[in-house]
């Protein structure tokens, strides 16, 4: 392995100069710089990055903690992160937690051991206090979940308002009996979406029964199963708001299998706007999250933090948008 001292010797300069040519070329006279560069070329010298990391105590790497990379919502956020990171010469270390807190703690060790310069947390199993602690010591950005009152840089959408908007959309279409299939309630996102749903219901003085809220786990099957419960009610709902698109699709499948037409007999709204929600039949009305942009923004915030920029603002709420397609019946209504 060619090392810096080899280059220095042949170029007839000191290693300090070689180092400067690489890290702050403007401080080296042009002649010298050219000479050094040509020797580097000639010897095909590659700096030992590990030595640099060690000496500088930084790695140009960020850790991304994801519950499950196989979920398209997360993989799109990661896509945005990766894009922003690589533009700035940063690398992305990916850690799947499979929703196990122990894996999250392990991941935090990477931070403590300086294996990464910062961390983006897409996960939500850690205690509020733990997150606060580490974010006071290391650059950390949360993405996807807004935690009330937590002064840690966060990129998210407003889950409460979006859910309210989705639900109000159903109310405006004339529905009076509206159900909600929420995600696992240990997740803050799910709780927020329930909150928004309830706000819409109460503000519009719609009748509410607790049986009209059922907990799923964000999977297609859980959407299907919870819908079956609704259908078994004496008076089933005429509209369902599901906390994500997958469950919305499951609910629609259950409805169809029971002879209901969507949207004619049952209106459905989902959340996330995953790729397939437009392909699905009926095309899903849903709340679009700017997933890729959330990732990008999160990485940009992290970059600034790592540079030492201190933000007064800590919560970045990106715009979400209700996308009206077929499953809610609005388009059908227009035609009438």
Q: Which is nearer to DNA, 4 or 64 (CB)?
A: 4
Q: Which is nearer to its own copies, 180 or 291 (CB)?
A: 291
Q: Single out the residue of 9, 52, 177, 191 in contact with DNA (rule: CB under 7 A).
A: 52
Q: Single out the residue of 41, 55, 259, 308 in contact with DNA (rule: CB under 7 A).
A: 55
Q: Which is nearer to its own copies, 46 or 207 (CB)?
A: 46
Max Cα–Cα distance, the chain, nearest Å: 90
**238 and 209 in contact (C-beta within 8 Å)?**
no
Measured from the CB of residue 31, what is the shortest distance to DNA in angstroms? 6
3 binds DNA (CB under 7 A): yes
Measured from the CB of residue 97, what is the shortest distance to its own copies in angstroms? 10
| Look-up of token digits 């990055």 | 49
Beta strands in the chain (DSSP E): 61-66, 91-96, 118-121, 140-143, 154-157, 178-182, 213-215, 239-242, 267-272, 285-288, 315-318, 321-323
Q: Single out the residue of 32, 61, 130, 198 in contact with DNA (rule: CB under 7 A).
A: 32
Radius of gyration of the chain (CA): 26
258 binds its own copies (CB under 8 A): no
Closest CA to 282 of 255, 253, 262, 259: 262
Residues 121 and 131: their CA atoms lie apart, in Å, by: 9
The conformational region for residue 313 under phi > 0 = left, psi -120 to 50 = alpha, else beta, is beta
Query: How many other β-carbons are positioned within 10 Å of the β-carbon of residue 39?
Result: 21
51 binds its own copies (CB under 8 A): yes
Residues 303 and 318: their CA atoms lie apart, in Å, by: 18
Residues 34 and 28: their CA atoms lie apart, in Å, by: 10
68 binds its own copies (CB under 8 A): yes
Residues 145 and 180: their CA atoms lie apart, in Å, by: 20
Measured from the CB of residue 172, what is the shortest distance to its own copies in angstroms? 28
Interaction pattern, residues 82-121, with its own copies; x per rule: CB under 8 A: xx--x----xxxxxx------x-----xx-xxxx------
Interaction pattern, residues 122-161, with its own copies; x per rule: CB under 8 A: ----------------------------------------
Subset of 10-29 contacting DNA (CB under 7 A): 12-20, 22-23, 27-29
78 binds its own copies (CB under 8 A): yes
**119 and 133 in contact (C-beta within 8 Å)?**
no
CA distances, 265 to each of 134, 222, 255, 268 (Å): 50, 21, 9, 10
14 binds its own copies (CB under 8 A): no
Q: Which is nearer to its own copies, 47 or 133 (CB)?
A: 47
197 binds its own copies (CB under 8 A): no
140 binds DNA (CB under 7 A): no
Chain residues in the site for DNA (CB under 7 A): 1, 3-5, 12-20, 22-23, 27-29, 31-33, 47-48, 51-52, 54-57
């Amino acid at each position: 392995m060619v090392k810096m001292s080899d280059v220095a010797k042949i170029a007839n300069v000191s290693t300090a100069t070689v180092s400067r040519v690489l890290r702050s070329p403007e401080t080296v006279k042009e002649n010298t710089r050219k000479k050094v560069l040509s020797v580097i070329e000639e010897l095909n010298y590659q700096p030992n990055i590990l030595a640099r990391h060690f000496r500088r105590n930084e790695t140009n790497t960020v850790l991304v903690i994801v519950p499950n990379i196989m979920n398209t919502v997360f993989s799109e956020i990661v896509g945005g992160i990766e894009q922003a990171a690589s533009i700035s010469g940063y690398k992305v270390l990916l850690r799947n937690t499979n929703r196990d807190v122990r894996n999250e703690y392990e991941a935090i060790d990477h931070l403590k051991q300086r294996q990464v310069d910062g961390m983006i947390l897409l996960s939500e199993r850690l205690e509020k206090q733990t997150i606060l602690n580490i974010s006071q010591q290391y650059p950390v950005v949360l993405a996807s979940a807004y935690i009330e009152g937590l002064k840690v840089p966060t990129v998210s959408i407003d889950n409460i308002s979006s859910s309210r908007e989705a639900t109000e959309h159903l109310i405006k279409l004339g529905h009076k009996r509206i159900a909600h299939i929420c995600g696992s309630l240990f997740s803050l996102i799910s709780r927020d979406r329930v909150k928004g749903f309830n706000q819409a219901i109460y503000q519009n003085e719609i009748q509410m029964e607790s049986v009209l809220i059922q907990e799923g786990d964000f999977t297609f099957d859980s959407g299907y199963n919870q819908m079956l419960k609704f259908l078994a009610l004496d008076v089933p709902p005429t509209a369902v708001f599901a906390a994500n698109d997958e469950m919305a699709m499951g609910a629609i499948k259950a409805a169809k299998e029971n002879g209901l037409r969507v949207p004619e007999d049952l209106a459905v709204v989902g959340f996330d706007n995953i790729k397939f929600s437009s392909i699905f039949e009926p095309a899903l009305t849903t709340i679009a999250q700017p997933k890729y942009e959330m990732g990008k923004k999160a990485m940009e915030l992290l970059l600034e933090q790592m540079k030492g920029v201190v933000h007064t603002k800590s919560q970045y709420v990106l715009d979400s948008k209700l996308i009206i397609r077929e499953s809610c019946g609005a388009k059908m209504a227009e035609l009438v």
